[in-house]
Each structure stands twice: as C-alpha cells, then as structure tokens.
Chain A
Amino acid sequence: MSTFLGIPAPRGVGHLRGDRSFPDAARGALADSQLRRNLGHATRVIRGKRAAVVGELDDWEQLRLAGSALKAATMARLDEHLERLEQEVTARGGTVHWARDANEANAIVTRLVQETGASEVVKVKSMATQEIGLNEALEAAGIEAHETDLAELIVQLGGDLPSHILVPAIHRNRAEIREIFLREMPGVDPELTAEPRKLAMAARAHLRERFLRAKVAISGANFGVADTGTLLVVESEGNGRMCLTLPETLITVMGIEKVVPTWQDLEVFLQLLPRSSTGERMNPYTSAWTGVTPGDGPQAFHLVLLDNGRTAVLGDDLGRSALHCIKCSACLNVCPVYERTGGHAYGSVYPGPIGAVLSPQLTGVEDNASLPYASSLCGACFDACPVRIDIPSLLVKLRAQHVDEQRKRAVPSAEAIAMAAASWVMSSPRRFAAAEKGSRAGRLLGRRAGRIRTLPPPLSAWTASRDAPRPPSETFREWWARERGGDS
C-alpha cells in the first residue's frame, strides 16, 4: 500500500537497550579483573582457531565477496524472497506468521504454545528470541522455557545475561559454572568437579529427560531458503537436533533478514559461518527441514517472520548492510574494546562491533547514543567479517547522525559547547596562538610523571579512563619561529 511511503518504519523493541550508557556500564567491567582474564583467554583462543581454519582455504576472499554480494542482492528483493519462502513453507505443511515487532512475535508464540496445551517448552539458542525477550513473555503466561544450549543454560541457571553472540557464558570460568550447577541443578552430584567434561555431562543428564518428554520446541534459524522453504539451524551439541526433531510442535522465530534466495547460496554461507564463528571447518551438527515430513520430526511447524526494526534499518541507504550480518561473532573476538569490557556493557543482546552499529540502527540512535562511540575504529572487525560489513564506516556515520541530533537540542551538551569554543578559537590564527600559549599553564599538572592523570572537571571525564599528555614547554609556532623564523 502506498500509505507507507514517507512514514518511517517503527523501531525495534525488546532487549536492545541497556539501562546505562556504554561508558557507565563499561567502567564496572574494566575494574573486574576476573572478567578481563576470562575474556582475554577466550577471545585469544578463538582468534587463533579462526585464523588457522580460514588460512586453509585459498578462496576465502572470493567466498567473502560472494557472501557480501548475495546479501546485498537478497535485501534488494527481500519482499519477493519472503513471499516465496512463505509459499514454499505453506505448500509443505508449515504455517507462516508475520510479526511487526517483539510484542507481536511474543504474543503469536505464546498463543501457539497455549493451543498445544503444553506448560513448558525446550529452546534452541537463538538471537531472535533473546532479542524479543520471549522467555520472559512465556513466563508471564505461565509457560516455562528451558534453554538447552550449554552456555544458555549456564546463563539461565545463573540468573544472568548473555555476553557474547556465540558463547553467551564466555564471561564465566569453570569454577563459577560449577558453583551455579551445584546451586541450581536439582539432583546434581555434590562431588561435581570443575572439569569441563564433567560439567558438560552434568548438563547432559539435567536436560535428557526434558528433551525426551518435550511436546513443543522453539528455535531460531540461521538461514531460510526461499526457493525451497527450507530452514536451517547450525549448532554443535545436539541440543538443537533434539529440539528440532523430537517434539510434536516446532515454532521457529526468524528475523526477516535471514532469508537466502536459493539452496545453492548455502554453499557460500555454510563455509563462511562455521570458520568465522567457532573456528571449525564445519560445526558438528546442522539441521535442515522443510515444512513437515510425515513420520519424521515435528508434525506441526510454525514459522514466525520478525521485523522489529529491521525494515527501519533497510530504509537507510548506507546502514542497510548491517542487516547482512550472519551472527558469526568474529568481530567480537577481534575487537580490543569488546575484549576489555565484555558483552554486558553494550546493553543489548547484540554486543561488540556489530552490536554497536546494529542496536542503535534497530532502536534509533537516540536510544543507544553511546554505542557508536564504543569502538577504537581500528578496522579489525571489517577484516574479520565474513560478509565484509564495513563496521568502522557505519560507526562513523552513526556518530555523525548522533551529533546532528544533538545540534537540534534546545540545551546544548557540554561536548557541543566545547566544540563550539574550539571552532571559535581555531578559526582565528591570533586566538589559536593565544590558546596555545595558555595551554602551557597545564604544565603545572603532571610535573612528576610527565603526563596528567587527573584533569579538573569537566575535563576529568577524559582522564577518568586515560592519561593526558603534559603540554610541551614550547608551542609548535614558537619552535618554528626559533628554528626557521629567519628564512621566511
């Protein structure tokens, strides 16, 4: 309908915003030496594994270029691909639902579960259901949702939040996980040690009965193939296969950007994704199903297609490439900012470099204004991205958008005042020279260390997390006048 033209697409709701700004949230994380040790170890290990398996392929760059072009081509015809997906899923016995936002998706899933009469569901790890806060919505309706991925189980039992797209419990070490299991897992062996194998076996025993009795499962999807109606889930533990295979009813929540046009396109993504995310040549298990297959797997299948701000991102000419993300998390593991702060500081289910662009795009930059600054712009994320999303450029663009919005405010921010003052000083050589000389007063600070550890307010905001250099005894202009002054 033409009435949509000119009306901005609604923003996403759900777990996309923190209750604090990134710098506030990061401060606590930076002071937590245990967290920094866990993160440093984990990101270093995964970076090494990824580099090794990517190095095995001599056509990696060609695969990245194909992945990037495939995503751009898909977005350009996204409506047609989704209609085709719906048609194929329906033709093969599935039911397709559409959700404008998180609330609508939660209502659809809750109703579908209630219609089965089940009071509990098993869940495959899924970013989309994290994003919409499905577990909380189900709980409010009296339905218990059991996370079955080991890391998600650790997070759920610990009453915690995920901190990484791929390994959500990356911020926990084995001793902490043991404590959580002993405290929260009914009937766990009190002699349980912190050995990862023992902890994994405890999770196996804990979940086994749940898998075997489950009537309803809820999953996300890594890919949905338009021309065949096939959905795919990529995983390692087999918890995904359990959920996708044993229950009578399967409900899959998929972001609309996860569609790929053809089965053949998977030959690109099934090479890019495992190598980029876990650093494996192929993940242990991938399940692919199309509608329902009589006699094999769930006999009722529902696919919920989720917008929740994605069409708003799509409407942004330059920013739309953030939707190309296949949620591999390679950018998190190479990011110096993520490595030091962890995922919680980003306040969204999408942390790290891609989260710093995607979350503000989904919610509107005014709702996540500090995230575009949560980056050193070093470019490592672009190099690691399997679909070549230019994250640094998107961050710069979002910063510009944020600054433009600040200009419109009635009361200018401290930063705006500082920038206006700097602009006034720098627009006149005389004023600039005077300011340079004035800066020498700063030499009174930092006399012993050669750098300034604490500046007076409001400049203390800068020195709260870094030192400022002590101003030199001579300005550049003075040096020039002394050394070369006679030549001019």
Chain B
Amino acid sequence: MTARDEVLGRIRAANAAAGHPAPQEVPRDYHRAGAHPAGAPELLELFRDRLVDYKATVLEAPADDVAKAVRAALADATGRVVVPPGLPDGWWPDGLAATRVTDDGLSPADLDTAAAVLTGCAAACATTGTIALDGSPDQGRRAITLVPDVHVCVVRTDQVVQTVPEMLAALEPTRPITFVSGPSATSDIELERVEGVHGPRTLIVVLTG
C-alpha cells in the first residue's frame, strides 16, 4: 500500500474515531472591508505612516511625473539599475548616472552586481504597510526585486486598500506572489530589530496618482 493511501486512510479512521465531527460554520464577522475606499486620503496617510514605521522611505509624485520621484530615489545609484520588461513608459527618468538594464533572465550573479531595481506593484495594504508583487510585466521575476540592494517600487494610490482581506482579494493566487512590508529585517539577536539582512536593505516607495 502506498504512503498516500495509508495517510489518507488514517485521517479517515481518525475522523471516524472522533465521531465524524461536522465542519463548523466559520464566523466571518471580522472586518472584511475597511471604512475607506481604495486610495482615500485617510488610507494614504496610514500607508505612509506604516511604511515609515518599518523603515521604508516614501516619496510622492503626480501621476504624470513619476520620473521625478524616481530620479530622486535613484540619485545615489551608480552602475546598473534593473527594470522589468514591462516597465511603464514615462517612469524612467532622464539624466541618471545609472544605466538602465532590462531583465531578460539575468543570472543571480548579474543581479548581485546591480545597484537597484525599479518596479511597480500589484496591490498594497495600508493597515500593515504591505506591498504585493505578482510577477506582472511591470514587476518582473521575483529574483529581480530580491538580489539588488535597493528596491524602488511605484505604487498607484488607487492600489492602496485598507485591510488584508481586500489586498488578498485583489490578487490572483496562482501567480508567484511576494508580500513586502518594509526592507529585509531580523530580530534574532536579543530581539533587537536590524534592518537589512539578505533581501534589499533599502525600500523606497513612490506613491503616485
């Protein structure tokens, strides 16, 4: 008999021994939606506050001039800045010292030599200060937002929802998804929080729209 059949058989026997407990009705009277619609000023205020609390940097940009804030975010970047294949037109600023490199399957070693990465996002949650990336063309592969030390992420205000349930509902589960809340951090030494271990040590959010 296969292990599969045996484990499933044991589960059925166990549930039979426990008297076939009926699945309980799940009470979902927690907040499934926030008090504010996506992009409401109250949410943007909360989102900024949460991001800063987790040591991310927040820059603002009008919808038609994202490049201005991106230029400020990448002012110190020298060398190469990786961008996903579907970076929206108008996000890349003129006159940067850094070179734009579009990801076409760069190796981990190549990514390790890049100064920064510039992407969009799929959704964001204000209550927790979280950004969700799902591998869409403006976000690229997971590796590109992981290996370079600086991640500049453009978030449209209409992507910012209030609660975790709203953020999850905005995503397609079968895509590769990364939830990011502030830069990489550890609390493993005497529970003292240190920002920046293996992931990007700097997260800059450009809020636009």
Contact = CB atoms under 8 A, between A and B. Distances in A.
Chains A and B bind each other: yes
Interface of A: 1, 3-5, 7, 9, 38, 41-42, 45-46, 59, 62-63, 65-66, 69-70, 72-73, 75-79, 82-83, 92, 97-100, 104, 148-151, 154, 167, 169-170, 173-174, 177, 196-197, 199-201, 203-204, 207-208, 211-212, 225, 228-230, 236-239, 241-242, 244-246, 256, 263-264, 266-268, 270-271, 274, 278, 280-291, 293, 295-297, 305, 307, 311-312, 314-317, 320
Pick the 5 closest A-B CB pairs, nearest first. A238-B199, A315-B14, A311-B10, A238-B198, A282-B128
Given A63-B30, A283-B181, A100 B186 contact: no
> Interface centre among A9, A38, A78, A267, by most B CB within 10 Å?
A267
Interface stretch (B65-73, B75-83, B104-112, B152-160): B104-112
A212 to B, nearest CB: 4
B164 interface: yes
Nearest to B197: A237
Interface stretch (B36-44, B87-95, B187-195): B187-195
Given A73-B24, A238-B198, A296-B142, 15 more contacts: A66-B27, A200-B189, A211-B108, A212-B112, A236-B186, A237-B185, A239-B198, A245-B146, A284-B185, A284-B199, A288-B179, A289-B176, A290-B175, A314-B15, A314-B18
B3 A236 contact: no
A79 B197 CA distance: 39
B207 to A, nearest CB: 18
A266 B108 CA distance: 31
Contacts of B26: 66, 69-70, 73
> Interface centre among B26, B30, B188, by most A CB within 10 Å?
B188
A284 B199 CA distance: 10
B60 to A, nearest CB: 22
B30 A62 contact: yes
> Interface centre among B2, B30, B135, B169, by most A CB within 10 Å?
B30
A173 to B, nearest CB: 6
Contacts of A99: 3, 7
30 contacts: A7-B13, A73-B26, A76-B20, A76-B23, A79-B8, A79-B15, A97-B3, A99-B7, A150-B188, A236-B187, A236-B197, A237-B185, A237-B186, A245-B143, A246-B143, A246-B147, A270-B168, A283-B181, A284-B184, A284-B185, A286-B179, A287-B177, A296-B143, A296-B176, A297-B142, A297-B176, A311-B14, A314-B11, A314-B18, A315-B14
Interface of B: 1-32, 50, 54, 105, 108-109, 112, 125, 127-130, 135, 141-143, 146-147, 164-165, 168-169, 173-192, 194, 196-200
A75 B112 CA distance: 44
A230 B1 CA distance: 28
B187 A278 contact: yes
A57 to B, nearest CB: 8
A270 B163 CA distance: 11
A295 B141 contact: yes
A100 to B, nearest CB: 5
B179 A285 contact: yes
A66 B164 CA distance: 15
A446 B2 CA distance: 65
B199 A241 contact: yes
A239 to B, nearest CB: 5
A267 B181 contact: no
A440 B168 CA distance: 68
B176 A271 contact: no
Nearest to B187: A278
A257 B105 CA distance: 37
Contact of B189 (A199, A228, A267, A315): A199
B190 A98 contact: no
A185 to B, nearest CB: 15
Given A5-B16, A169-B188, A314-B15, A69 B3 contact: no
Given A75-B21, A288-B176, A295 B197 contact: no
A194 to B, nearest CB: 9
> Interface centre among B27, B28, B192, by most A CB within 10 Å?
B28
B10 A9 contact: yes
Contact of B8 (A82, A199, A290, A295): A82
B177 A296 contact: no
A316 B6 CA distance: 18
Contacts of A82: 7-8, 11
Nearest to A96: B4
Contact of A236 (B125, B173, B178, B184): B184
A212 B192 CA distance: 27
A286 B194 CA distance: 18
A236 to B, nearest CB: 5
A207 B204 CA distance: 25
Contact of A149 (B24, B135, B188): B188
A76 B22 contact: yes
A282 B190 contact: no
Given A204-B197, A284-B183, A228 B7 contact: no
Contacts of A230: 173-174
Contacts of A97: 3
Nearest to A290: B174
A236 B128 CA distance: 14
Contacts of B180: 284-285
Nearest to A81: B11
A270 B164 contact: yes
Contact of A307 (B7, B16, B108, B147): B7
Contacts of A291: 174
A282 B135 CA distance: 21
A296 B105 CA distance: 9
B190 A83 contact: no
Given A4-B10, A199-B189, A200-B197, A238 B184 contact: yes
B181 A315 contact: no
Nearest to A266: B168
Contacts of B175: 290, 293
A167 B27 contact: no
A229 B180 CA distance: 21
B168 A264 contact: yes
